[in-house]
Amino acid sequence: MKAFSNLSKDIKTVILIVFSGLFIRLIALPFSVTVESDAVNRVNIAWHWLEEPHFITHGVWGPLHTYLIAAGIWLIKDPVLSPKLLNIFFSVATAVVLYFFTKNEFSERASWFVCYTFLFYPVGFRNSLQALSDTPFVFFVALSLLFLSKARQKDGSGKHALIAGLSLTLASMLRYEGWVLIPLLSVLLWKKPKSLLAFFLVSMIFPTFWMVGNHIHYGDALYSTNYQQEVELTLNRDMTQEEIIQRILYFPLVLFFGMTIPVFLCSLLGITLSLVNRKSNFVWLIPFSGLFTIFFLKSLTGSLALQTRYSLLLGMFLLVFSAEAFNKIPSKQLRISMGTIIIFLMIPLSYIKDNAYVPGFLSKIIPKDIEAIPRASKYVEGISLSTNEKLDTRNDSIIVVNFGIGIGHQIAFRTHISPPKQLVIPYGFQQESDWKNLEKFFDNHKKGIIVLKAGSHSISSIHLIEKIQLKINSVNNLVALNLLEDTSHALIYHYQIINENKGD
């Protein structure tokens, strides 16, 4: 204790931030479930990359998250746990960075409030328990903000601008919102042209590299963003008037409920005070305003998916302004009391159902995935439990049929079986390619579990699977099936590839 008391105030605060952030997340970790299909896909991509490591030069998703997840899997041989631990680290580290940024731009006495609201911010807490790119992305953006803040000061140097640019180019390797932030953050250095140029050139390193790679491979420098935009526009081609209204209100309401009402209102009050009093820190509203406008317009046109996690960066930009309102509380004791109450209410408030606030069709657009701890539905929990009870994870493979993309990948992912030994056929055997994929999988994986969604289609699929003949090493082989469980939700079979002549 004496050694702790001799430490500086900042170091003490950092230790407390790290301890409390890790403590609450590690408590929540055993209760969290990977529910995002994108998270499953990202882990699978990283696993396959780890089998054949290479330098990624093009694609839809930026490469840094693949490298990070692969490193985690290499260190901890668990594709479910390791990405979560990685994101927990980045989430807590972001709170530390925000502490120093707030201290630098707003005030020291409000910095603890901002970093703890981020630690307990439900959307941020939730994403720290998912294998998604948003959490490390926000960390690198926050790091860029911190060094930009230093570069803007009178004694700020080009070195600070270079580090800020490097942080932003790393963020751009994770999510394309980072590309949008380059001009929005560059303008903050307009009084220091040399620092502005240094920041801009360094932050453009990855976007330039990636555009060249995509142009060479696809003939389209902006293939990554254009591909995703075309997918969304196709899905949202014929929007109803109700859907348009929902899209107009989506991001304002996601911030309102996702940040929790007290913190959201506190942040808005802080913005108002900063503008009215013409504080120098109001310039940090520029990146929020620019990014929010782009999200709003893309949402309105149908070219952006409505994902709660996209609001994480917007929420972080708003959170720092809560410091301005917090500073106006005159009494230290009152600040501590009010701040503590607001922070400890954040996670419970994330579990209040949307229809308690908004009646009618508007309740549909209040996201149901703002709860701090991601949990699977009872439907998925039941099927996963039954499946895992019957698996030999060392020797079995798994095939999941007809549950759709999201649920199908959840069931397979939660077995902890390595991705090469998983096959998800989301909508049954509708295409010839589905059967070819199944036969190819049988060639490489001779035994395992087949989980099918209950229904007449599954029964017919089983009959067809039993008729499959496989040619392996010039020998005819059949698929032997043994029904393990038949419920109202799923059929679970054990399969084994056997020699047709031997019969076993």
* Mean pLDDT, range 313-340, rounded to an integer: 92
Task: Assess whether pLDDT exceeds 50 at residue 465.
Answer: yes
* Mean pLDDT, range 370-380, rounded to an integer: 88
* Mean pLDDT, range 147-175, rounded to an integer: 96
| Residue 30, C-beta contacts closer than 8 angstroms, at least 6 positions apart | none
The tokens for 271 are 């913005």
Rounded Cα distance between 259 and 460, Å, is 48
pLDDT value at position 124? 96
Task: Assess whether pLDDT exceeds 60 at residue 85.
Answer: yes
User: Which helix (DSSP H) or strand (DSSP E) does residue 408 occupy?
Assistant: helix 405-413
Residue pair 104/149 in contact by the 8 Å Cβ criterion: yes
User: Which range is least confidently modeled, 251-265, 318-332, 467-481?
Assistant: 467-481
pLDDT tier at 273 (50, 70, 90 boundaries)?
Answer: very high
- Strand order of the sheet with strand 397-401? 422-425, 397-401, 447-453, 490-499, 475-486, 469-472
What's the count of helices (H) and strands (E) in the chain, helices before strands? 23, 6
Task: Assess whether pLDDT exceeds 90 at residue 473.
Answer: no
Q: Where are the chain's structural domains? A: 2-365, 378-499
Q: Is 439 exposed, middle or buried (0-12, 13-18, 19+ CB in 10 A)?
A: middle
Q: What is residue 307's three-state secondary structure?
A: coil
pLDDT tier at 449 (50, 70, 90 boundaries)?
Answer: very high
* Mean pLDDT, range 67-91, rounded to an integer: 94
The tokens for 399 are 């095939």
Residue pair 206/182 in contact by the 8 Å Cβ criterion: no
Residue 139: CB atoms within 10 Å: 26
Rounded Cα distance between 108 and 113, Å, is 10
User: Which range is least confidently modeled, 65-74, 184-193, 326-335, 428-437?
Assistant: 428-437
pLDDT value at position 355? 47
Residues 348-374: pLDDT tens digits? 988 875 445 555 555 666 667 888 999
Task: Assess whether pLDDT exceeds 80 at residue 413.
Answer: yes
* Cα separations in angstroms, 341 against 23, 117, 204, 454: 19, 11, 42, 48
User: Which range is least confidently modeled, 146-150, 323-327, 427-431?
Assistant: 427-431
Q: Does domain 378-499 have CATH number 3.20.20?
A: no
Q: Is 5 exposed, middle or buried (0-12, 13-18, 19+ CB in 10 A)?
A: exposed
Task: Assess whether pLDDT exceeds 60 at residue 1.
Answer: no
151: amino acid identity, one letter: A
Across the chain, mean pLDDT equals: 89
Task: Assess whether pLDDT exceeds 60 at residue 78.
Answer: yes
pLDDT value at position 96? 97
pLDDT tier at 392 (50, 70, 90 boundaries)?
Answer: confident
Task: Assess whether pLDDT exceeds 90 at residue 165.
Answer: yes
| Residue 56, C-beta contacts closer than 8 angstroms, at least 6 positions apart | 49, 63, 66, 67
Global pTM reads: 0.90
More confident residue, 277 or 3: 277
Residues 191-211: pLDDT tens digits? 999 999 999 999 999 999 999
* Mean pLDDT, range 21-33, rounded to an integer: 95
* Mean pLDDT, range 46-63, rounded to an integer: 94
pLDDT value at position 36? 87
Q: Is 141 exposed, middle or buried (0-12, 13-18, 19+ CB in 10 A)?
A: buried
Rounded Cα distance between 32 and 9, Å, is 34
Of 410, 440, 435, nearest to 425 by C-alpha is 435
